[in-house]
Chain A
Amino acid sequence: MTSSVKRPLDDAAAEAAVLWMVRLHSGEMSSQEREAFEAWHASDSRNAAAFGRIQRNLGAAPFSQWRGRATDPLLQALNAPNGRRQFLRNSLVFGGLAISLGLFGRAADWPWLAPGNLQTGTAERRRWQLEDGSLLQLNARSRVSTDLVDGHRQLQLHQGELLLEIHRGGVRPFQLETQQGTVSASGGRLVLRQGDEASRLTTLDGPLLLRPKGGAEIQISAGQSVLFDRYAVLEQQPMNSSETAWLDGWLEARKQPLGEVVDTLRSYRPGIIRLDPYLAALPVSGLYPLDNSDQTLEMLERQLPIRVHRFSAYWISIEQA
């Protein structure tokens, strides 16, 4: 029997390993935290052993069968009442069944997705048809909220990257907002990415209007790739196919800095990928499978003067060869 999970584990290294594992799975880990983790892991063999044990047990746990399926039925089943207690209380044959059946009705009202909130997880791409007929596709670890009530056509990109195919014929133009500005168009396709301090807009059709939050509205024609911040356009150039390659599951790099490539990979695997800062500017060119990040890392290792150290499935460090 396990002791109460609400109390810290008696073994200090094991408890620390648990808390590090919690942070590794957050999907948001700063470089300082990454360094602190490495220091902890290297400081004592008991730390590495405890961490390894959790990692192996996680690897052996039967979660993989459920990936790519709707999780609601799994969660509803797991959260079903335990008939065991009923069984203990009376030995009426199958007495517990009717009782648990009575509770099934409640399973339906889970506080699932708030309306208009769409998101993807690590290594997940998904498509939706919106109420106005537009088609939305989200890259991994992306999140949008939409307002499509009463003829409004608004969408806010909070995180990640999207492709929107805007349905023509709406009363009002479709408005897409990032932290830096607003894009509006009455039809056509566009790709929008929320970066750390700037947004990138790629216009597959056009023209459309872009208004940085603190700047003037400008018109962008079709086939452009535009980087903008809150005040102005920082960079504009003809788009290339690499910007939409993710839609088909590829990461296409054309002299792209390794730092950006690694950033993309981070959305496609749990845990951390540490990159030696000296390598971040290394130019990368090639076509890499997004859904197989292990293969992508192997390809990069063969191609560039780098060594990929795999301390665990959750911790990969890219260093100079």
Chain B
Amino acid sequence: MDFGLKDKVAIVTGAGSQIGFGKAIALTLAKEGCDIVAADKDLEGAEKTAAEVKASGRKAIAVKVDIRNSDEVNEMVSTTLEEFGKIDILVNNAGTPGMVPPTSEEAWDINVNVNFKGTWYVTNAVIPHMRERKSGKIVNFSSGVARSGMGGLYAAAKEAVIGLTKAWSRELGPSGINVNAIAPGMGDTGFQVIVRATPEQKENFKKSVPMRRLTTPRDIANTVAFLVSDVSSDITGQTIQVDGGDFMV
């Protein structure tokens, strides 16, 4: 099915990790014809992703950004507009469970400020542009743990992303902007919970999922591509589980 994404410009945050969802998203969107802004706090990683996008035949830039810092976020958006002249798609993929003591200030700073406030900053920075053009697609990242609560502040922040997604979908629907979220299952990525799991814990987790496997970056990238296309233009305000049936809301 033609997703009609040729020559669209997409910002993907957290696109630096070479084994994460963000890179798969950037490459999948590029395959569908998008030009890519690969954003990450790790510039080197972002550059690697951008290089692969370029090798696949689309334009790409790498931008270093800490999404907790609104100045850096605004800078990223201006750089994008200077380079490409427009932003069609924003994928708020950057996120982290922050493996720090759960009651520390640091835990709040990482979990809430990256996962929630960061998404808010980046989205606020692109909304005026999308409103002006009366078109845009925003995909936020929630998580399966938002549904289960198994994950402290991280779960709370990811639940808050669902709230923001709903609010923005109402606010921006009349302006032709779709806002949705994806709640992935446990991915075999750099996500620390899984990195630190023993092989036995991993196996047990897989057994608990109806599909008997972990979520792959490709699973997530496919759903992002669907959601940012006009093929799914009647879908907004939703949080889409892509998790092998781990949670059925």
**Do A and B associate with each other?**
no
**Which residues of B are interface residues toward A (Cβ below 8 A)?**
none
**Which residues of A are interface residues toward B (Cβ below 8 A)?**
none
